[in-house]
Amino acid sequence: MPEAGDDALEDLYREVILDHYKNPRHQGRIAGAGAVGVDLQNPTCGDEIHLSLRMEGGRIADLAFEGRGCSISMASASMMAEALRGKTLDEAVGVSAAFKGMLAGGPAAEDSLGDLVALAGVAQFPVRVKCATLAWNAMMRALGGQTHDADA
Ligand code: ZN
């Protein structure tokens, strides 16, 4: 249970999530040479996402999403797009592992996750974890790094 002193932090986190939900960053579709797109859904909540990205020189040169769903799923996609642009494949996999670790109750590594720590509270709601990881699973599929997907 959160302690009384955590209220301010929870309010801040809620604001960050709502901001990304209402003003999503990096919306759209990336087309053209080298672009990869993936559609993924989270049937438990009805979240849908189309994620597309383009690698260049070993880095994620561009990453964008379109979709609809709950605030957790859309905010997570927006924050992910912000966090992963410019990252190498290995770095992206590392951030994804840190994020999923946090959602499994692990530490919230603010230096690697940035705004994404706002979603730490989702760990307390296992059914919502699928909302938070939807964009990440789409990203991993787009990167071709993961074929099994327990959350889809
Ligand atoms: Zn959802």
Flag whether pLDDT at 4 surpasses 90: no
Give the span between the Cα atoms of 82 and 65, in whole angstroms. 11
Looking at the domain assignment, is residue 59 inside a domain? yes
Q: Are 69 and 45 in contact (CB under 8 A)?
A: yes
Range of the structural domain that residue 42 is part of: 7-143
CA 145 from centroid of its chain's CA atoms? 16
Looking at the domain assignment, is residue 53 inside a domain? yes
Mean pLDDT value of segment 79-90: 95
Q: 115: domain CATH number?
A: 3.90.1010.10
The predicted pLDDT at position 9 comes to 84
Looking at the domain assignment, is residue 148 inside a domain? no
Question: Partners of 48 in the beta sheet?
Answer: 41, 68
Looking at the domain assignment, is residue 2 inside a domain? no
Residues with CB under 5 A from ligand 1 (ion): 45, 47, 69-70, 73, 131
Looking at the domain assignment, is residue 117 inside a domain? yes
- Single pTM value for the model: 0.89
Tally of structural domains, the chain:
1
How far from 54 is each of 23, 135, 142, 145, CA to CA, in Å? 23, 16, 9, 15
The identity of residue 64, as a single letter, is A
3-state class (DSSP) for residue 29: coil
Q: Give the pLDDT band of residue 5 (cuts 50, 70, 90).
A: low
Mean pLDDT value of segment 76-98: 96
Looking at the domain assignment, is residue 149 inside a domain? no
Looking at the domain assignment, is residue 62 inside a domain? yes
The predicted pLDDT at position 84 comes to 96
Give the span between the Cα atoms of 105 and 146, in whole angstroms. 22
* Dist. CA 128 → ligand 1 center (Å): 6
* Dist. CA 45 → ligand 1 center (Å): 5
Looking at every residue in the chain, the average pLDDT score rounds to 90
Q: Who wins on pLDDT, 147 or 52?
A: 52
Which residue is associated with the tokens 């609809």? 68
Flag whether pLDDT at 3 surpasses 70: no
Looking at the domain assignment, is residue 152 inside a domain? no
* Dist. CA 125 → ligand 1 center (Å): 11
* Dist. CA 22 → ligand 1 center (Å): 15
Q: Are 53 and 35 in contact (CB under 8 A)?
A: yes
Task: Tell me the pLDDT tens digit for each residue of 36-84.
Answer: 999 999 999 999 999 999 999 999 999 999 999 999 999 999 999 999 9
Q: Who wins on pLDDT, 53 or 144?
A: 53
